[in-house]
Amino acid sequence: MKLVEKVLNNLRVTKEEAIELYELDLFTLGELAFKIREKRYQKKTFFNTNLHINPTNICKDICKFCAFSANRKNPNPYTLTHDEILKNIENSLDQGIDEVHIVSAHNNLVGLDWYFEIFAKIKKNFNDLHIKALTAAEIDFLANEYNHSYDEIIDMMIEYGVDSMPGGGAEIFDEKIRDEICKGKVSSNNWLKIHQLWHKRGRFSNVTMLFGHVEDRSHRIDHMIRVRDLQDITGGFNAFIPLVYQTDNNYLKIKNSLSSQEILKTIAISRIVLDNIAHIKAYWVTSTINLALVAQNFGADDLDGTIIKESINSAAGAKSANGMKLREFISLIKDSGFIPTQRDSLYRELKSY
Ligand code: V47
């Protein structure tokens, strides 16, 4: 059977076939991915109103792609106090947020309690907020630093009020490329193992893929297939989030950024390959809002959220430092011919605009 027919018949593609999909022209590929998206969600595009908080940029790891952590290229170390974090949240309530997304660097100066007690304080002060926090990379760091098993760290997450896990730290799973861009960080197998343990508790998470640096197409497909294999076992991933590599202020010397075509093809292929993951998120922060809007026609059904303040990708050149106003977000989705559909963190629909 020809590959296009296979996709049209909703049959699972192999790794080799997925690589072959890149050879299709952009519009054929887009149409295939759009059909899948349309069948599931018609013209709905999901988003939420969230606040990103990055409480510290002091990091014991040195990932070459990272411009956020305090180092020679970004010599501005900071660590927020719990009161400052609570104040940030309080100041954002009038924007209607229902989720806080908290990701820190791997700071070995502040102690385990600093990482966890903030979750309990948030729950105490803002009981309705969903806490999406601690990447598998942070969990691996905390487990190693404080001599705990992954299960013990996960017990603490649940005890202190973490509701779901973000998909950060996945980068690219191919071990050779991973060594090149972030040696010493959580291994690919452990990243997947931590999410598996989290899913085993009946909890949900996301999974990212950082692309557009030193990897090639086959590494991206390998990444997707490893995700698909785990999802077959657990069913715990809500969304796949391809993150377009941002080039500024870091130690990876990448001369050529990816073309929009290659980004859209990768998003479309992820929609086709990841037949067992409900949502493909075009994260506007790294793709630009305009390309994220186009990605709706290439398989993406989710654009993340309003964010309010973004620190990790904007440090590397993304135009996202101040998030986006809800009204603007809604009208951009509408103008592009889709139905803005506000969701909660677990994808329950709240409101259509
Ligand atoms: O893990 C770091 C990435 C991630 C760069 O789960 C970079 O809903 C591009 O994981 N260029 C953090 N990317 C962001 C993240 C995320 C974002 C939105 C939603 C969710 C979710 C998760 O940012 C890191 C890393 O892979 N990153 N540096 C860079 N130069």
Distance CA(268)–CA(147), nearest Å, equals: 41
Distance CA(283)–CA(302), nearest Å, equals: 8
* Helix (H) or strand (E) segment spanning residue 272: helix 260-273
pTM, rounded to two decimals: 0.97
Per-residue pLDDT at 306: 85
Query: Measuring CA to CA, which residue among 278, 121, 97, 125 is closest to residue 205?
Result: 278
Per-residue pLDDT at 310: 84
Alpha helix stretches (DSSP H) within 161-216 = 175-182, 188-200
Cα→Cα distances 233→94, 95, 224, 276, 284, Å:
40, 38, 15, 10, 30
Tokens of 131: 């806490």
Q: φ, ψ for residue 159 (rounded to 5)?
A: -60, -40
Burial of 109 (0-12, 13-18, 19+ CB in 10 A): exposed
Per-residue pLDDT at 185: 96
Domain 2-7+18-352 has CATH 3.20.20.70: yes
* High-pLDDT (> 90) share of the chain, %: 88
298 DSSP 8-state letter: G
Q: Which atom of ligand 1 is nearest to the CA of 205?
A: 6
Per-residue pLDDT at 307: 85
147 CA to centre of ligand 1 in angstroms: 27
- Give the residue ranges of the chain where pLDDT is below 70: 1
Q: Which atom of ligand 1 is nearest to the CA of 247?
A: 30
- b/e 178-212 (16+ beta carbons within 10 angstroms → b): bebbbeebbebebbbbbbbbbbeeebbbbbbbbbb
Tally helices (H) and strands (E) across the chain.
14, 10
Cα→Cα distances 23→140, 186, 217, 287, 310, Å:
38, 33, 11, 22, 35
Write out the DSSP string of 280-296: EB--HHHH-HHHHHHHG
- b/e 280-307 (16+ beta carbons within 10 angstroms → b): bbbbbbbbbbebbbbbbbbbbbbbbbbb
pLDDT in tens, 73-99: 778 999 999 999 999 999 999 989 999
Nearest CA to ligand 1 atom 17: 168
96 DSSP 8-state letter: T
Per-residue pLDDT at 1: 66
139 CA to centre of ligand 1 in angstroms: 16
pLDDT in tens, 140-178: 999 999 999 999 999 999 999 999 999 999 999 999 999
Asked if 207 and 170 touch (Cβ cutoff 8 Å), the reply is yes
> Taking CB atoms and a 6 Å cutoff, what residues make up the pocket around ligand 1?
65-67, 103, 166-169, 171, 206, 208, 210, 241, 243, 245-246, 250, 283, 286, 304, 312-313, 316
Per-residue pLDDT at 238: 98
Residue listed under structure tokens 């601690």: 134
